[in-house]
Amino acid sequence: MKLYSNEIVFRGHPDKVCDQISDAVLDECLKQDKNSRCGIETVGGKGKIFITGEITTKAKIDVQAITKRVLADVGYPTDYEIIDNIGKQSPDIALGTNSTINGAGDNGMMFGYACNDTEQMLPTAMVILQEISKKYDELRKKDHRFLPDGKAQITGIYGENMKLKDIETLTICYQNTEEEREATDRIIIGICLEASLKHHIHINKFLINPTGRFKIGGFEGDAGLTGRKIVVDQYQSFANVGGGAFSGKDPTKVDRSGAYKAREIAKRYLKSHDLKWCEVQLSYAIGLEEPLAIYIDSDNGEIEPSEELYEECKLINIINDLNLKNKCYEETARFGHFE
């Protein structure tokens, strides 16, 4: 028996709330000015939300109003002290990403992954956890006993080619009012069973709030920070992870746009080459248009990238092909950038 684990954090987890705030500010900038340059970081804890980073934009944005709206959407109070500490992007970085150069906004390497386990071309356990996270968010909007914070983890039983056979243990920690815990635990179990049975997966054991209590959570019980859930945001440990986070970054930042493109390439090659899995690495140097390297690996061995693929992976082509100036990034920060 081979055991392997992966996890997700709920939309109300403090780190995820910070991701959503950063991306909500980004979305408003891009809505008003498609050429906005943003690198927005949010940190929250103990009654304060601190938004910092760099923005160069013609947009007129109200960071306080955006932050309060996200907090309300997630289910948190809106009376936190909100500190706007955003500055302008470094002109040295802007040199490499202006309209005449169109170079990458930073050095870096990023990965994309796809597999034939599910319709989404993602690992089954990852899809199950995404479905649980979405169902939990719907639940806490309707039932006051369920509070925003939480996370879930699958320890799966795997066979050959890392195919999920069963779930040995599903661990779920959910913030709640601690009223009628037996009843709320049963509801949680029902959500998990619905998601797993949809994929014909059996759960052998549940661990629900193993400490026995989870009433104090969110920014009262923990701090949050943009980009701290980098593995959850990508492939939950089923694939290699790039060096940079996503949220708060406009499409000229290849940490984000390159990762989205690598995922698109992996999905395309999975289908065209009839693969079980495919992983793509892209790498860039700040200010240069074309990637330094493209590496493609699969269950059928390495695949040589074409010259056309290098052209396709120039930053300006990625942004245009994937329509990245018109995407709602806040939505990607809620339940997963790859669904």
- Catalytic residue of the set 178, 222, 312, 331: 222
**Has 331 been annotated as catalytic?**
no
- Catalytic residue of the set 54, 185, 220, 331: 54
**Has 106 been annotated as catalytic?**
no
What backbone torsions phi and psi does residue 234 show, to the nearest 5 degrees?
-100, -100
**Has 249 been annotated as catalytic?**
yes
Cβ contact 162:4 at 8 Å: yes
Please tell me the distance from the alpha carbon of residue 213 to that of residue 207, in angstroms, as a whole number: 12
**Has 255 been annotated as catalytic?**
yes
- Catalytic residue of the set 253, 256, 263, 267: 253
Which own/partner pairs from 178-184 qualify as long-range (CB within 8 Å, at least 24 positions apart)? Answer: 178/213, 178/215, 179/145, 180/145, 184/143, 184/145, 184/146
- Catalytic residue of the set 27, 41, 137, 149: 41
Task: Say which DSSP state 76 is in.
Answer: -
3-state SS, residue 43: strand
- Catalytic residue of the set 11, 37, 229, 261: 229
- Catalytic residue of the set 134, 249, 256, 337: 249
- Catalytic residue of the set 13, 37, 134, 256: 13
**Has 19 been annotated as catalytic?**
no
**Has 223 been annotated as catalytic?**
yes
- Catalytic residue of the set 59, 94, 223, 285: 223
- Catalytic residue of the set 117, 137, 255, 330: 255
- Catalytic residue of the set 146, 214, 238, 246: 214
Please tell me the distance from the alpha carbon of residue 248 to that of residue 40, in angstroms, as a whole number: 4
**Has 266 been annotated as catalytic?**
no
**Has 88 been annotated as catalytic?**
no
3-state SS, residue 148: strand
**Has 68 been annotated as catalytic?**
no
Q: Which two tokens stand for residue 227?
A: 């980009």
Q: Is 240 left (phi over 0), alpha (psi -120 to 50) or beta?
A: beta
- Catalytic residue of the set 7, 15, 149, 289: 15
**Has 337 been annotated as catalytic?**
no
Please tell me the distance from the alpha carbon of residue 127 to that of residue 38, in angstroms, as a whole number: 30
- Catalytic residue of the set 7, 10, 16, 219: 16
**Has 16 been annotated as catalytic?**
yes
Q: Which residue has the tokens 């060096």?
A: 243
**Has 214 been annotated as catalytic?**
yes
- Catalytic residue of the set 68, 134, 228, 337: 228
Residues annotated as catalytic are 13, 15-16, 41, 54, 151, 214, 222-223, 228-229, 249, 253, 255
